[in-house]
Amino acid sequence: MKKATTAVELFDKYAKNYDEMQHATVPAYEDAISMVANAYQHYVGTGKFLDVGCGTGNLSSLILKDSPESRVFLLDGSQAMLDKALKKINDKSIIGSKTVNLEDPNWHHGVEDPLDAVVSSFVLEHLKENDYRAVVCRCHELLKPDGVMVTVEWSNDEHGMKEWFIKRMTAQGQSHPQYAHIIEEAKEAEKHYFVNIREKISWLEDAGFHNVHTIWQYLFGYVIAGEKK
């Protein structure tokens, strides 16, 4: 099978293995997305939300488990990942779905709004600064007044924990050798732009969000939330 050279190619290629690999090899993966789901419950409870980079629907599934009356619009860059999410989530909970490139300024076209929340898990760190800023500005526009954006992402390794994390992930990967080739392929196909979390908070503030703050941290992974005035 052809080697993936981009993140979208990687996720299209390995969508069927994604869930098992994430839970087996990424430390605290379930904890991280659970904290986003908990934040949704705190800020929204029941409402209409957008999942930016929904992957196979793990985050949305957690939100909908505790808030079954909520409704979600699913976005992802990989059609294979989106298809898996659509199979995982009850049709009655889905108000729409779309395959998008977040670097396209028109990625939001067709998204039903206004929204009560925008959520995202381990996606935005793949964007360069200009694209990141453009996406969060658009998310702000899609939200109702008092709506909230909650995201979990990897940030800059200011506490020196990245090396430890990679060693732990590598060790867990070695315990599951069936995923070793995927992890190695991902190192080349996925691009990350690690930025200081305080700078990312300022980007959300520049987009119009207020009360932006970190609500959970694990090593260099952060859950941050911001409200629309």
Helix (H, G, I), strand (E, B) or coil at 16: helix
What would the pLDDT profile of 151-163 be if each residue is shown by its tens digit? 999 888 666 667 7
What would the pLDDT profile of 42-70 be if each residue is shown by its tens digit? 999 999 999 999 999 999 999 999 999 99
Helix (H, G, I), strand (E, B) or coil at 105: coil
Tell me which of 2 and 13 has the higher pLDDT: 13
* Domains observed in the chain: 7-228 (3.40.50.150)
Do β-strands 48-52 and 94-99 pair in parallel, antiparallel, or remain unpaired?
unpaired
Helical residues (DSSP H) of the chain, grouped into ranges: 7-14, 18-25, 29-43, 58-66, 79-88, 129-142, 162-174, 180-189, 197-206
CA distances from 165 to 162, 179, 184, 193, 224 (A): 5, 17, 16, 17, 20
Which residue has tokens 């867990």? 172
Which among 16, 80, 93, 3 is positioned nearest to 51, based on CA atoms? 93
CA 122 to chain centre: 4
Q: Where are the beta strands (DSSP E) in 87-130?
A: 94-99, 115-121
CA distance 58 to 135: 21
Confidence (pLDDT) at 25 = 78
CA distance 92 to 34: 22
Structure pTM?
A: 0.94
What would the pLDDT profile of 101-146 be if each residue is shown by its tens digit? 999 999 999 999 999 999 999 999 999 999 999 999 999 999 999 9
Report the amino acid identity of residue 215: I
Report the amino acid identity of residue 44: V
What would the pLDDT profile of 194-216 be if each residue is shown by its tens digit? 888 999 999 999 999 999 999 99
CA distance 154 to 194: 7
Which residue has tokens 């080739």? 181
Q: What are phi and psi of 77, to 5 degrees?
A: -80, -20
Tell me which of 168 and 147 has the higher pLDDT: 147
Helix 7-14 to helix 180-189 angle, to the nearest 10 degrees?
Answer: 160
Cβ neighbours of 52 (radius 10 Å): 28
